[in-house]
Amino acid sequence: MVRVLLSWLGLGLVGLALAQALGDQSHWFGYDFRVVEMPVLTFVTGAMVAGGVFCVAVLVVRRSLEAGVGGGPVLVLMLGFGLAFRLALLASQPVLEDDYQRYLWDGAMTAHGFNPYAISPKYVRSVKAPPKVVALGERAGEVVPRINHPELKTVYPPVAQFAFAIAHQIRPFSLGAWRALCFVGDLATLGLILVLLREIGRPLLWSMLYWWNPIVIKELTNSVHMEAVLMPLVLLALWLAARRRNLLACTIVGLAAGVKIWPALLLPLVARRLAVEPARLALGVGIFAALSILWLVPVLLGGIDPTSGFVAYVSRWKTNSALFPLLEGAAGALRADLGWPWPEPAVIARLAIAGVVGAVAIGVALTVPRSSSDLLRRAALVVGALVLASPAQFPWYTIWIIAFLPFFPPITGFLVLTLTMPLYYSAFHFMAVDELATFTRHVVWWIWLPVWSLLLMQFALTGYRSLSTGRGSATVAS
């Protein structure tokens, strides 16, 4: 027991020192510095070291459970350190991220009754903008000029806009107010993970796979991405479905799709048990459809045109993917062989990805889940397929699957992302020195090749069902 506690204490102190170092040095990534002056590669190295500490902690979880000390003081110590990691970053400057600037502006627009889908930040201070919007832009100070892709209208759905507006009401144009809201969402995600672990009879100590994950800590506490609002809704919907509250689960999926669209992929799975009751199934799907239409209305009123963030994202957003350029190249070759004048290779590749992920979403819902663990496993397969196949693979997107990792034997491929994903940020260094091709041709493969290789290896050794049963792995049973 003492040795286990000392292991947790040692790892926790190392992790806390790394978090504190990030917080202390984050000012070097502020707007007073050019990217070429920022210690980008130093940050990447530190983030990869944090990933290594995390991987060691996974082994310590196993050792703790084997020693029969997965609860009590060990659990409290693990949870306490995870909280301390976040507290160390509450006053930090977001590192190499500025999405929050648009969150702050969208929140102001929504809170003041303006449609954030109607005007892009580029035109906020122009003669084309309504005078009240111009005045709001002036009160925003440096927020509007610092929004990335200012020529595009917002891409964030209405429930996300509501969350942004809440932060604005707490304190206008305040990173601290938005960070506080993200902190609450992060805690809610942890709480739901603990509830679901208890639901499936798995040790609560496995919540470490989320609570100590450096990607989660950096992207939610430091960079304050909106996944902090999204993931509690996703997990709540699955918990309700596990408790057979399927109509309410369909409603929550609709709310989650109002934060980011992809949770709609979970609707077939969440609604599956209603298939034996056609009237209730129609009601559940109807509730989801009604919410979706409600979310769509302000987007349509704002205009669907080339300046729409949704159009831009669906048609041309791609980054940090090793797979998508290969699919795009294959689609181009196929189009040339068949003599098709259209569609563009990127469109063909995106349609192929949508088809595969959609097929997975439908496939996992063909039969009724046998248990709560089976339900979570099937949801994880859908989310994992989306994360792996998406043309855009930002670090914060990996939180979608990280939140599911505590429910299964450690999935090595996704765990190794904590070591490789920090390399994404090296792209900023290569852009600054005009060598981005080095990243797109080489570094991106260092991120994803280990992930794909380990996932395929684990699948070959343990098989599909090991995700829920633990057969074929050394994982301590629940």
Question: Is the pTM above the cut of 0.85?
Answer: yes
For 167-197, how does the pLDDT look when each residue is reduced to its tens digit (9 = 90+)?
A: 999 999 999 999 999 999 999 999 999 999 9
pLDDT in tens, 260-299: 999 999 999 999 999 999 999 999 999 999 999 999 999 9
- CA 151 to the chain's CA centroid: 25
* For residue 466, pLDDT beyond 60: no
Amino acid found at 376: L
Q: Which two tokens stand for residue 193?
A: 């993970």
469 pLDDT exceeds 50? no
SS3 392: strand
Distance CA 240, CA 84 (A): 30
Phi and psi, residue 179, nearest 5°: -65, -40
- How high is the pLDDT of residue 475? 34
Decide: 78 and 203 in contact? Cβ < 8 Å.
Answer: no
Read off the pLDDT of each residue in 316-326 and give the average, rounded to a whole number. 91
* Distance of alpha carbon 439 from alpha carbon 445, whole angstroms: 9
pLDDT at 470 over 80: no
Closest CA to 113 of 140, 136, 129: 136
* 8-state DSSP, 163: H
Largest pairwise CA distance in the chain: 70
Q: How far apart are CA 174 and CA 165, in angstroms?
A: 11
Higher-confidence residue: 477 or 84? Answer: 84
Q: Is 239 exposed, middle or buried (0-12, 13-18, 19+ CB in 10 A)?
A: buried
For helices 345-363 and 309-316, angle between their N-to-C axes, nearest 10 degrees:
90
Residue with tokens 């809201």: 181
N-terminal to C-terminal alpha carbon distance within the chain: 19
> Reduced to 3 states, what is the DSSP secondary structure of residue 478?
coil
DSSP 393: -
In the block, tokens 């989306």 appear at 386
DSSP codes of every residue in 430-470 = HHHTT-HHHIIIIIHHHHHHHHHHHHHHHHHHH-TTHHHH-
Distance, CA of 137 to CA of 307 (rounded, Å)? 19
* 13-30: average pLDDT: 96
The answer to whether residues 164 and 156 touch, using CB atoms and an 8 Å cutoff, is yes
CA distance 179 to 223: 9
Greater model confidence, 470 or 461: 461
Closest by alpha carbon to 9, among 73, 63, 94?
73
> Residue 445: CB partners within 8 Å, gap ≥ 6?
322
The 3-class SS string of 297-360 reads HHHHHHCCCCCCHHHHHHHHCCECCCHHHHHHHHHHHHHHHHCCCCCCHHHHHHHHHHHHHHHH
Helices (H) and strands (E) in the chain, counts: 24, 0
Residues for the chain: how many in total?
Answer: 478
Residue 31 contacts residue 97 (beta carbons within 8 Å)? no
How confident is the model over 396-426, as pLDDT tens digits?
999 999 999 999 988 889 999 999 999 999 9
Range 4-20 average pLDDT: 95
Residues 71, 76, 80: CA angle, nearest 5 degrees: 150
What is the C-alpha radius of gyration for the chain, rounded to an integer number of angstroms? 22
**pLDDT tier for residue 316 given thresholds of 50, 70 and 90:** confident
Place of tokens 């992920």: 357
User: What DSSP string describes 60-75?
Assistant: HHHHHHHTT-SSHHHH
**pLDDT band at residue 128 using 50, 70 and 90 as cut-offs:** confident
Q: What is the pLDDT of residue 36?
A: 94
Q: What is the pLDDT of residue 62?
A: 93
Q: How far apart are CA 23 and CA 34, in angstroms?
A: 19
What are 352-387's pLDDT values in tens digits?
A: 999 999 999 999 999 999 999 999 999 999 999 999
**C-alpha neighbours within 13 Å on the C-beta side of residue 449:** 6
Confidence of residue 127 (pLDDT cuts 50, 70, 90): low
CA 119, CA 133: separation in Å to the nearest integer?
Answer: 9
